[in-house]
Chain A
Amino acid sequence: MAIEYLGLSQIQGPLVILEGVENAFFDEIVEITVAGNEKKMGRIIEIYEDKAVIQVFESTESMSLKNTSSRLTGHPMEIPLSSDILGRTFNGIGQPIDHLGPIHAEVSRDINGLPLNPVTREYPRNYIRTGISAIDGLTTLIRGQKLPIFSGNGLPHDRLAAQIVKQASLGEDSDEKFAIVFAAMGVKYDVAEYFRNTFEESGVSDHVVMYLNLANDPVVERLITPKAALTAAEYLAFEKNMHILVVLTDMTSFAEAMREVSSSKGEIPSRKGYPGYLYSELATVYERAGLVRGVNGSVTQIPILTMPNDDITHPIPDLTGYITEGQIVLDRTMHGQGIYPPINVLPSLSRLMKDGIGEGYTREDHQAVANQLFSCYAAVGDARALASVIGEDELSALDKQYLKFGQAFEERFVGQGEEENRTILETLDLGWELLRMIPRQELDRIDTKLLDQYYDRK
């Protein structure tokens, strides 16, 4: 029934141009058969009268202007969904690659999704215990939040993400339906394998959906991967009432792919060659997290991104930070000192933390302890800077106390074992223990009442 168009008029990198098409629409999926046997998919990204610019998934290798035939599918990019996707593995554009056969779709969903109406959102308030002090205590993760890990190459962001997934899934409300959606964009095979093993070891692998686009997979597919994963996550959360933790790694590859495609389209670049719509595109990914009024499920996102050259002002981490609700920043110096997880708490932040902690959620002193730890640790930085100029011996007694506190804070509070799962009360008590190393009158962020109650108590 559908018309087959023979040949193409131009091939340029991942983009091909098809002329003479009728009735095609913007964002439509095109099926391209190469040399009679190999099937590829593409998406119309620009259209002028009968001329369509198609972005080909997989690669344009072996395609010529003559050996192809193209067919319009009549629908935008969709993926099949049902509860059976749990435990399955897909490629970057949502096709099963685990040899378990196709998905018997209950529904097919457009991967672009639709923006959640702000009035139907519910403000996230329930915290997720990760068992990691630096996160639970200082940058608390809230259900429905998007909290990225800003990392660099060679830093243990994968181990940290895996630990969060493992320990969060084994939290106290494990009776609720919980699942993980994992999307890999341009990561090494080893990384994907590491996550797969971790999921298996912790016994959650039948609650994991994986979308894998590895480093040697086609670049263009990378643009689809996070959207496919989030479509699955939204389906499971808002239609199957499950609590979904989405791990997206590595968002830097996603942005790089966007730049690559944009430049082959001949678009005008803005910052560092990235297209002007980088912010909007990142936002359409990150904003697909949250809670919906009247629905039991939730989508929580932990995107991982490697900052090029550890530069937090690079456009990718920079724009990400403006969209996500905080960030967890890993630090190379701390990693060098053997501290795991090497979280630099000062630039780390959780915006939703303030409403999900305190009395009724964690403990009434949580916010105050966190503020005081931040403030004292900032003072440690000043003391260290001074010590590097005048030598540690010349420091005042107070500054010396700060130095000691700083070391203890990094080693005992931030540092912990990869298998160590601390309760929130352990974390807070540890915080107090460290604060007692500082004279009481220096603690200016804590109410006198709380100080009376906790500071003097041993």
Chain B
Amino acid sequence: MNNTGVIYGINGPVVYLKGNTGFKMHEMVYVGPEKLVGEVINLTKDTTTVQVYEETSGLRPGETAQATGDAISVTLGPGILTNIFDGIERPLNEIAARSGKYITRGVSVDALNTEKKWSTHITVKPGDTIFGGAIIAEVQETPAILHKSMVPPNVSGVVKSVAEDGDYTITDTIVTLTGKDGQDIPLKLAQKWPIRMPRPTAEREPGNRPLVTGQRILDTMFPIAKGGTAAIPGGFGTGKTMTQHQIAKWSDADIIIYIGCGERGNEMTQVLEEFSELVDPKTGNPLMDRTALIANTSNMPVAAREASIYTGVTLAEYYRDMGYDVAIMADSTSRWAEALRELSGRLEEMPAEEGFPAYLASRLAVFYERAGLMKNLNGTEGSVSMIGAVSPQGGDFSEPVTQNTKRFVRCFWGLDKSLAYARHFPAIHWLTSYSEYIGDLASWYNENVDEHFVEYRSRILAILNQESSLMEIVKLIGSDVLPDDQKLTLEIARVIRLGFLQQNAFHAEDTCVPLKKQFLMMDIILYLQERAKELVVKGMPMSVLKESNIFDRIVSIKYDVANNELEKFKEYRQAIDEFYQQVLEKNG
């Protein structure tokens, strides 16, 4: 029999129980007659504090709260993909089927469908000694993804009996183990895991290959490794969500977990609709087949918002354990931090900077450290990459969430308001952003794309940096007074900004660009710079060079050269040579 407690105080999502209830920290509790889901967050001899994941309106002092004995956990098994859950893994489709257009309280639904039969192939046989993490069965979860059911990490033993291959639900016993003490351990397709505890792995490996996203400014300029962490900070309207959507759509991860944490309801609807229609270029299946969504919109209960990112990362770790590369989009971690602040305020804790609790930094660290490229317990290799949006107040990056996030991520994609105002998208600013992975990934790029890749990248960045210092002068005295070689630098920088950095998410070809084309685009821009520089050295003024439309032709390469006709770049090289000759002939 589990412990029960009696409510004596209610303050928004925080509920106080009287006396020493015997509840455990982070234990899941059912509060009141409607069985609202809650979690124990504080214990004293006199009081137990519970945060409730649902609206508490209507609760009365004197009503009881019942402990469940388990920490707040999620069910892991086939059926996660293509689904949309709330912050504590309740399927929103099921809730809609039961209670209509609104999310009502106290809906008790199973996280995963317990009636659906999955065609299962058992991969162990009696007599096998297996350890935590070992794969015991395979299920084709979606056309794209083979789901591998595993022994829970803390369980091991000798296989006593196995079921035959066939159709099973997630609650059927498929394998029985004999444990160390001789007891029977039934294993099922699904298992449970507490959300606040990282799933164990064998060892962490250094990231050595990029998460290819098809976005030029990310892949070429500021790449993230598989198993890496990145933050996208930006004021409202600068394109955080758009960037996350683009990565979720086009990145070469096997699985995407998209966490809508305290954001807009319509955005989740959009992801649902778009991802069901869009086709994954690699597999030809709908993108939704590799995606699971966690939606805790801004008007849903605040405590569940706090839990949602842990729920998301636990799902991601589970698929990583199968040997997949998983990418998490967390939009937005600031809403999560604000949920912490809100709950902390209700608990009357001493506030630190800007009212955020002092443990903000350590919580962020724990979250981001769950990313990584891992050697799993079963010997496979998988990764969890994390991309967290940050919504700094007033777009000011000096606020606590951005600053603390910066300490724990290795990729920083800073979105810039003035770029967004000029509708330069993605509005990731090349001067404020950085990636610490470039060193780790250099050899991968040089081997897999081109040996000049990293060198070209540096040259492009150098031109952009030169432009920025030249612009200081231009702002004061105008560009007409600059010498021609500096004018050329400005012109080439313009070509880079418009033709390379700007990428049109709504253009069929430009929305996702293969690395090879990204490289060739850099190559052609740098070639143009070289030849134009020769002309300038020979004394040709920029005004003459600009009479040709070659600069604008290079800018529109992104639209004019399709992703599968890269041989066209040769024509552009010729065009540049012709341009060189023409200028010389005319003015030489």
Contacts and interface: CB of A to CB of B under 8 A. Distances in A.
A118 B265 contact: yes
Nearest to A379: B422
Contact of A276 (B8, B57, B265, B338): B338
Contacts of B55: 112, 114
B228 to A, nearest CB: 26
B175 interface: no
A268 B355 contact: yes
A444 B499 CA distance: 9
A389 interface: yes
Contacts of A390: 476-478
B559 A117 contact: no
A164 to B, nearest CB: 20
Contacts of B391: 322
B58 A25 contact: yes
A272 B352 CA distance: 14
- Chain B contact-residue range equals 35 or more
B272 A119 contact: yes
A171 interface: no
B394 interface: yes
B395 A118 contact: no
Q: Looking at chain A's contact residues, is the secondary structure mostly helix, strand, loop, or mixed?
A: mixed
Contacts of B341: 270, 276
Given A117-B103, A120-B101, A25 B60 contact: yes
B472 interface: no
Given A76-B58, A322-B391, A123 B273 contact: yes
Given A48-B8, A49-B8, A117-B95, A313 B265 contact: no
B297 A118 contact: yes
B9 A47 contact: yes
Contacts of B126: none
A346 B480 CA distance: 27
A116 B102 contact: yes
Contacts of A24: 60-61
Interface residues on A, range: 35 or more
Interface string A19-30: 000011111100
B510 to A, nearest CB: 11
A312 B345 CA distance: 25
B264 interface: yes
A445 interface: yes
Contacts of A110: 57
Interface stretch (B147-155, B459-467, B517-525, B549-557): B549-557
Contacts of B348: 268
Interface stretch (B204-212, B298-306, B310-318): B298-306
Counting chain A CB atoms within 10 Å of each CB, the highest count among B62, B264, B297, B422 belongs to B264
B412 interface: no
A287 B301 CA distance: 13
Interface stretch (B10-18, B186-194, B215-223, B528-536): B10-18
Interface string A419-458: 0000000000000000000000100110110000000000
B335 interface: yes
Nearest to B396: A313
Contacts of A10: none
B60 A49 contact: no
Contacts of A120: 96, 100-101
A371 to B, nearest CB: 5
Contacts of B102: 113-117
Nearest to B99: A117
B571 interface: no
B269 A26 contact: no
Contact of A123 (B266, B302, B478): B266
Given A123-B270, A276-B342, A394-B478, A47 B422 contact: no
A386 interface: yes
A441 B552 contact: yes
A134 interface: no
A27 B58 contact: yes
Contacts of A246: none
Contact of B56 (A26, A284, A318, A447): A26
Contacts of B96: 117, 119-120
B97 to A, nearest CB: 9
Contacts of B59: 25-26
B555 A444 contact: yes
Interface in B20-68: 55-62
A351 B421 CA distance: 13
A378 interface: yes
A270 B354 contact: yes
A385 interface: yes
A76 B391 CA distance: 34
Given A50-B61, A119-B272, A123-B269, A318 B394 contact: yes
Contacts of A118: 84, 92, 260, 265, 268-269, 272, 295, 297
Contacts of B498: 444
A238 B101 contact: yes
Contacts of A28: 58
The residue among B295, B418, B422 with the most chain A CB atoms within 10 A of its own CB is B422
Contacts of B582: none
A102 interface: no
Given A46-B10, A48-B9, A283-B262, A268 B345 contact: yes
Nearest to B298: A283
Given A49-B61, A117-B101, A280-B342, A287 B298 contact: yes
A405 to B, nearest CB: 15
Contacts of A27: 56-58
B393 interface: yes
Instruction: Identify the interface centre among B10, B16, B552: most chain A CB within 10 Å of its CB.
Output: B10
Interface in A341-365: 346-347, 349, 351-352, 354-355
A277 B272 contact: no
Contacts of A389: 475-477
22 contacts: A25-B59, A49-B9, A116-B103, A117-B96, A117-B101, A118-B84, A119-B92, A123-B270, A268-B351, A270-B355, A271-B393, A276-B345, A287-B297, A315-B393, A326-B237, A355-B270, A378-B418, A378-B421, A390-B476, A441-B549, A444-B498, A444-B552
Interface of B: 8-12, 16, 55-62, 84, 92-93, 95-96, 100-104, 235-237, 260, 262, 264-266, 268-270, 272-273, 295, 297-300, 302, 332, 335, 338, 341-342, 344-346, 348-349, 351, 354-356, 391, 393-396, 417-418, 421-424, 474-480, 498, 506, 549, 552, 555-556, 559
Interface of A: 23-28, 46-50, 76, 110, 112-124, 144, 238, 267-271, 275-277, 279-280, 283-284, 286-288, 290, 292-293, 295, 312-315, 318-319, 321-323, 325-327, 346-347, 349, 351-352, 354-355, 367, 371, 374-375, 378-379, 385-386, 389-390, 394-396, 399, 441, 444-445, 447-448
Given A23-B60, A23-B62, 16 more contacts: A46-B9, A47-B10, A48-B61, A76-B58, A112-B55, A115-B265, A116-B265, A118-B84, A118-B92, A270-B355, A279-B262, A280-B342, A295-B101, A326-B237, A375-B424, A395-B478
- Report the 5 A-B pairs with minimum CB-CB distance, sorted nearest first: A313-B394, A270-B355, A283-B298, A378-B422, A27-B57
